[in-house]
Amino acid sequence: MCGIVGYVGTKNCAPILIDGLRRLEYRGYDSAGLAVYDGTRINVTRAIGKLRNLEAALAAAPLTGTTGIGHTRWATHGRVSEANAHPHVAGEIAVIHNGIIENHLALRARLVKDGAKILSDTDTEIIAHLIDAQCRKGLSLEDAVRAALKEVEGAYAIAVIRKSEPQKIVVAKNASPLVLGLGEGENLCGSDIPAVLPYTRRVIILEDGQMAVLTADAVRVTTVDGTPVDAQVKTIDWSPAMAEKSGYKHFMLKEIHEQPRAIEDTVRGRLDRENGDIVAEEIGLSPELATKIERVYLVACGTSSHAAMVGRYYLERLARIPTVVELASEFRSRDPVIGPGDLVVAISQSGETLDTLMAAKIAKEKGAKLLAIVNVMGSAIARASDAELYTRAGPEIGVASTKCFTAQMVALLMLAVYLGRRRGTLPAARAAELVEGIARLPQQMRDVLTGTRQLVLHLARRYMDARDVLFLGRGASFPIALEGALKLKEISYIHAEGYAAGEMKHGPIALIDANVPVVVLAPKDEHHDKSMSNLQEAKARGGRIIAIASEGDEDVHGLAEEVVEVPVVDPEFTPFLTVIPLQLFAYYVADLKGTDVDQPRNLAKTVTVE
Ligand code: F6R
């Protein structure tokens, strides 16, 4: 996730672009850059690190001009470096981009063969060269962008300027957000409404497959194929603070709703749907190594360790590899018996959690192979690893992790499918089903978000004064029960515990009485009958049962006080759907109680202490 911004008008644009980038910094902040046309040429300034580094560079050597584009980067292709920072330049063209170009390797090879000098590791520079090549054939910037985009597969929001067509920005979008701001004698574009809000409240939200030409006096929208579009102009009445959260009250709620997009981005370019497989180069483990691994250790903390527990189900079932889940702090507090036959997977949103980092380093010292599943490119854990599989959820700002949890689960599922295919434990037909299932997941998650929101809000109102809440689950629903409890306790400060449903009668059942809501995860899977028995046991002790169940499960309706339904899906995908109502429940309870949802007491987003 990156942030892009553009301005064309009569004012000096660099301060406006910087201001826009500051409002988009929540989208990524590992490097930033501007390209400004000064009346003769396009000048580019880029700097790694926070925006203030770019500002310092501009203070030393200002860029002046009334047409320009700016970018704040969240690395996905290529490490954090000035060469990889945007804008990227090819010939007369400067481009900024948010998204992921899936066929960039093939395009890069062809461009290099044709003599292009590619200076960065990014997929974005490829777009610049494709557009430049079309301009050299005599096409206008607009037509060159159109022609170049025909060759590109993947997600993009781009803004492009050209030296010989000054006072013009061409933008286009597919699967990444892009907003146009309509001003008086000036027009703007940005990844999100906050970037344009100080200058205008009139916006056009571009749709996928659309592009636009912006000049100081006009904005013309067409499809990428060239058909004119009569775009709807909306007037925004959000405050700037609301705008940063896309109108949501808190980042956490926004991030819960971003999960379908986070999954789309995390799997983009990694699913080989033609062959029902996972693209090998994307996983970072060679097929040879995949067959040699004797055991997997999944090492993580907190929410990431719950994703690891779901990952264990995938790795054992699909790849038949003995898999151990370890809390990083405990792993490093022992003397674990690991060695060269082991694969250690360090899972972390921040990539900086000290316990996970130290556990990863111990594993490496003992000769294990180290794979990082992290969200922040170039983070300490990524740097310490032999291979990285990035979740591409974008920056997560709410302290309680949500979108990174589901992105980690899908990364682990892809890893398991990849290993299962290489090791011959996963039949081709089943792998193909899973790959198709992954592709369907974002829409199913959207359906759950819209389908359960109202009921969960009602449940939150009803149970917000509970002193204790229990969460029960079996199989892959056990980690989801743990995650539901963690979410609730960390932001609402209600005491909540997750238990393996089968463990109830070995002690925790004593906690249940008429004042204790018990959330039972009982989706239609191989454990359904047993989950129903556990549900009955809790009910018989007077517990108030809230079931998270599959649509149309009449048995559950007969037993539970409240039932939140999720669509019936292949059981491997159930955790992605059942966790959503639990995240929403925690959020609504906390919001109703008036806690500081995004920054709960005593917690930090990145834990760099032991
Ligand atoms: C809970 C939460 C934490 C983190 C944990 C690990 O909502 O966010 O439990 O999951 O601190 O952090 P990362 O994933 O950055 O290593």
Ligand 1 centroid – CA 63 distance (Å)? 41
The percent of residues above 70 in pLDDT, for the chain, comes to: 99
Ligand 1 centroid – CA 610 distance (Å)? 13
Ligand 1 centroid – CA 24 distance (Å)? 24
Determine the residue of 376, 390, 401 to mutate for testing ligand 1's pocket, defined as the one with the most ligand atoms within 8 A of the Cβ atom. 401
Ligand 1 centroid – CA 483 distance (Å)? 11
Cα distance between residue 118 and residue 125, in whole Å? 7
Please give the single-letter amino acid code of residue 142: E
Question: Sorting pLDDT into bands at 50, 70 and 90, what band is 291?
Answer: very high
CB 85 within 8 A of CB 41: no
Q: Which residue's alpha carbon is at the smallest distance from atom 9 of ligand 1?
A: 302
Q: What pLDDT was estimated at residue 564?
A: 98
Equal fold, 3-243 vs 444-596? no
Strand, helix or coil for residue 440: helix
- pLDDT tens per residue, range 558-579: 899 999 999 999 999 999 999 9
Q: What pLDDT was estimated at residue 610?
A: 65
Across residues 340-346, what is the average pLDDT? 96
CATH for the stretch 444-596: 3.40.50.10490
Query: By mean pLDDT, which of 21-30, 327-336, 486-495, 504-513 is the weakest?
Result: 21-30
Q: What is the mean pLDDT of the chain?
A: 94
Q: Which residue's alpha carbon is at the smallest distance from atom 8 of ligand 1?
A: 401
* Nearest atom of ligand 1 to the alpha carbon of 607: 11
Catalytic pick from 2, 13, 135, 189? 2
* Nearest atom of ligand 1 to the alpha carbon of 381: 16
CB 368 within 8 A of CB 340: yes
Spatial neighbors of 149 by CB under 8 A, at least 6 apart, are 156, 172, 174, 211, 224
Nearest-CA neighbor of 303 among 345, 347, 269, 355?
347
Neighbours of 428 (CB within 10 A): 11
Domain ranges of the chain: 3-243, 246-426, 444-596
Determine the residue of 352, 480, 489, 607 to mutate for testing ligand 1's pocket, defined as the one with the most ligand atoms within 8 A of the Cβ atom. 607
* Nearest atom of ligand 1 to the alpha carbon of 402: 7
Residues near ligand 1 (Cβ within 6 A): 301-304, 348-350, 353, 356, 400-401, 486, 490, 607
The verdict on whether 2 is a catalytic residue reads: yes
- pLDDT tens per residue, range 246-266: 889 999 999 999 999 999 999
Give the domain 246-426 fold.
Rossmann fold (3.40.50)
Please give the single-letter amino acid code of residue 299: V
CATH 1.10.10.10 holds for 3-243: no
The verdict on whether 404 is a catalytic residue reads: no
Q: Which residue's alpha carbon is at the smallest distance from atom 11 of ligand 1?
A: 302
Across residues 101-114, what is the average pLDDT? 94
Neighbours of 594 (CB within 10 A): 7
Residue 317 pLDDT exceeds 90: yes
Residue tagged 């330049």 (tokens):
89
57: which 2 tokens? 């560079």
Q: What pLDDT was estimated at residue 609?
A: 67
Ligand 1 centroid – CA 270 distance (Å)? 25
